[in-house]
Amino acid sequence: MALFFRLKTPCLLRFLHQVPLSSLKIHPSWIQKTGTFLNSIKLKWSPKHGQCIKYALSLPVGYGLITFKLHPKTALCAPKVKHSRLVKDDGGGGSNTKFDWKQFFQMLVPEMWYLLAAVIAAVAAALVNIKIPLLLGDMVNVVSNMTKEATTDFINNLRIPAIKLMMFYSLQGLLTFIYISLLSTVGENVAAQMRIKLFDSLLRQDVEFFDTHKTGELVDRLTSDIQDFKSSFKLCISQGLRAVTQTIGCVFTLYAISPKLTVLMVTVIPAVIGVGTMMGSGLRALSKAAQDQVAKSTAVADEALGNVRTVRAFAMETKENEIFSQQVELSKKMNINLGLGIGAFQGLSNVALNGIVLGTLFAGGYLMSGGEITAGDLMSFLVASQTIERSLAQMSFLFGNVVKGMSAGARAFEFINNEPKIPIKGGKIIPYYAMYGDVEFEHVNFSYPTRAGQKVLKDFSLKVPRGTVVALVGLSGGGKSTVAALLERFYDIDEGKISIDGVSLKELDPTWLRGKAIGFINQEPVLFATSVMENIRYGRPDATDVEVIEAASMANADGFIRSFPEGYDTVLGERGVTVSGGQKQRIAIARALIKNPSILVLDEATSALDAESEQIVQAALDNVVKGRTVLIIAHRLSTIRDADIIAVVSNGQIVEQGSHDELRKKKGLYWELIRKQELEEEIQTHQWGRPEF
């Protein structure tokens, strides 16, 4: 017998760390060489041979997913490329997560009184419902006696049971109104609590978390998962509680009317429930898989819509639609199967329940003919058994719904309970008056958590003394932006130390570090769809209007902002699409400046701009770097003309360091970079054609 395994990242990475790669016949360098990480591995394990006898690796590469089929004895087989964008298999998540009852009850505590009142009202409504068949039976007895005895006092005889019945109907209506409105309030309060907790927890997650989860998937958990959970919670208490109470109560009523008939029913019902439970567990698995697939298709749509400009620029509309259609098709199939399952389940339940009614009529008629029960008793029995029937049908419907709701709740709780490794708050703060801004990286080793096999920084050391401008330059992929991300403590380093004024980043309060100490401006700043004023104030929410305008002036942004008809109140489009790249960058500089940070990190802040905007933004930056410790990550060497120290990063290490002139004279990597860029600029200036080969 052979067993198949399919491991997903990060489980796969953990696995690869534990299992010697040689035993899998995968050379470690091969994994590194791919420059990417494994998506999944399929192993065929033969207990007979005690080894893996066949396996396949999947690697995400660009828009494709490459699957290599491997065999220990043979070499790597030709890759099979699937032309589809990588859609993470673990995207839906939550399938193995348990529902967190403790948290759920904690959320219910503030709602306890409402909930208790709702439960009492629901049970009372159910008890009233149990009484109704008996009252109906009384009325039938009056009617049948009247026809037998030809009584003329019809109205008088009927009045009391009719008034009683009317009162019970009204009471039932009132109780139904009470429990539904109370439950709705409880449900909405719990859902709002869950949403807020989930959003709060998502915002506190490590950056690493967002490297592995798509926005669509997260938004899906915030919206549809909580919606599903809320609906199922409300249904469970309202209809579920009512159905259970009615079923139990009606069984007692039935017993009081006719023990013989009741025994018959009680033997049939457990058999029906047994079959229903078995079908239900199958439906549960189907429902989970279908929900996960829906989350994946939402994530694909979200990515495409979120990056619609890139999609348009590459004319990828059809391709994106194809990818989305594939995912939707899969989710459609799964949901159709689920629908078929639910249909079969409900159809069979109906047949079983109607069979019970037929059986009751048959057996009840027989007992009536023997004079053991009256016509009214049979009527009461029928109505009560129909109430049981309705309740059971409700329970069967609820079963699927509760399963769906519980798995949706589990998915939400999974992220609510996910504790980030790097806390958001807590730790030392260096007071403003004691802050110098000396930054130091000492023998830092670092790998991204999602790509543990690739060391991005290797024994990296760098000093950025207070008040100096240090520029990091080097070939693409060398690790420059990683240095900036580590200084912001987006990730924790594996070894070594990063410190500000001698205090390790790990001891410093991350909120203070990111909110006050460091101003970060990157290549593509994201602005929010609110006014320019609020966008700048985002850097320091307590800043006055005058301070916002001052920051904008320093960033050379005041002029163009005032030229807008609505000035600082101009509302920007989503992600700031209604302003030019250079304007966006200057608003972002003002937003960073308003914090008055001691340390500024400029990660290719001008590289996305054209030459003219670059000059304007560069002038703004020249204004703001004075007196601060500045780390510039530079692509274009023209942007670092004023740097005091230039550090050349290659392959995760500093290979050259010194002033511009020193490094030029050295004729090393920096000199080569400069030459390359000068040549390119010359080609552009003179519009020379590139040589043809």
Ligand X SMILES: Nc1ncnc2c1ncn2[C@@H]1O[C@H](COP(=O)(O)OP(=O)(O)OP(=O)(O)O)[C@@H](O)[C@H]1O
Residues that bind ligand X (CB under 6 A): 211, 448, 450-451, 456, 474, 476-482, 635
Q: For residue 590, which of 654, 545, 634 has the smallest C-alpha distance?
A: 545
Give residue 608's identity as a one-letter amino acid code: A
* Interstrand relation of 599-603 and 439-447 (parallel, antiparallel or unpaired): unpaired
- Looking at the DSSP bridge assignments, the partners of residue 571 are 531
- Report the alpha-carbon angle 169-175-178, nearest 5: 145
CA distances for 623 relative to 438, 535, 556, angstroms:
21, 20, 9
Query: Do residues 43 and 10 touch, judged by C-beta distance below 8 A?
Result: no
Residue 679: exposed, middle, or buried by beta-carbon count in 10 A (0-12, 13-18, 19+)?
exposed
Looking at the Cβ atoms of 480 and 489, the one nearer to ligand X is 480
Looking at the Cβ atoms of 467 and 668, the one nearer to ligand X is 668
Find the shortest distance in angstroms from Cβ 463 to ligand X. 19
Looking at the Cβ atoms of 33 and 48, the one nearer to ligand X is 33
Find the shortest distance in angstroms from Cβ 620 to ligand X. 22
Neighbours of 417 (CB within 10 A): 13
How far is it, in rounded angstroms, from Cα 67 to Cα 71?
13
Q: How many CA atoms lie within 13 A of 350 on its CB side?
A: 7
- Cis omega (within 30 of 0) on the bond before 10? yes
Looking at the Cβ atoms of 283 and 456, the one nearer to ligand X is 456
Looking at the Cβ atoms of 423 and 477, the one nearer to ligand X is 477
Find the shortest distance in angstroms from Cβ 625 to ligand X. 20
Q: What are the residues whose beta carbons fall under 8 Å from the beta carbon of 414, sequence distance 6 or more?
A: 93, 94, 97
Find the shortest distance in angstroms from Cβ 587 to ligand X. 23
Find the shortest distance in angstroms from Cβ 634 to ligand X. 9
Looking at the Cβ atoms of 30 and 252, the one nearer to ligand X is 30
How far is it, in rounded angstroms, from Cα 501 to Cα 512?
14
Find the shortest distance in angstroms from Cβ 519 to ligand X. 19
Find the shortest distance in angstroms from Cβ 19 to ligand X. 22
Q: What are the residues whose beta carbons fall under 8 Å from the beta carbon of 268, sequence distance 6 or more?
A: 356, 359
Looking at the Cβ atoms of 22 and 476, the one nearer to ligand X is 476
How far is it, in rounded angstroms, from Cα 7 to Cα 25?
17
Neighbours of 263 (CB within 10 A): 11
Q: For residue 487, which of 424, 433, 427, 440 has the smallest C-alpha distance?
A: 440
Query: What is the dihedral angle through the alpha carbons of 490, 491, 497, 502, rounded to the nearest 10 degrees?
Result: 20
What is the helix, strand, coil percentage profile of the chain, to 5?
Answer: 60, 15, 25
Looking at the Cβ atoms of 60 and 479, the one nearer to ligand X is 479
Q: For residue 503, which of 517, 491, 521 has the smallest C-alpha distance?
A: 517
Find the shortest distance in angstroms from Cβ 449 to ligand X. 8
How far is it, in rounded angstroms, from Cα 529 to Cα 128?
55
Looking at the Cβ atoms of 457 and 555, the one nearer to ligand X is 457
How far is it, in rounded angstroms, from Cα 304 to Cα 454?
29
Find the shortest distance in angstroms from Cβ 203 to ligand X. 18
- Collapsing DSSP to helix, strand or coil, 1 comes out as coil
Give residue 159's identity as a one-letter amino acid code: R
Looking at the Cβ atoms of 96 and 476, the one nearer to ligand X is 476
Find the shortest distance in angstroms from Cβ 32 to ligand X. 11
Find the shortest distance in angstroms from Cβ 210 to ligand X. 9
Looking at the Cβ atoms of 13 and 226, the one nearer to ligand X is 13
Find the shortest distance in angstroms from Cβ 560 to ligand X. 28
Looking at the Cβ atoms of 395 and 640, the one nearer to ligand X is 640
Looking at the Cβ atoms of 53 and 207, the one nearer to ligand X is 207
Residue 502: exposed, middle, or buried by beta-carbon count in 10 A (0-12, 13-18, 19+)?
exposed
Find the shortest distance in angstroms from Cβ 515 to ligand X. 22
Looking at the Cβ atoms of 211 and 495, the one nearer to ligand X is 211
Find the shortest distance in angstroms from Cβ 492 to ligand X. 14
Q: What are the residues whose beta carbons fall under 8 Å from the beta carbon of 674, sequence distance 6 or more?
A: 637, 664
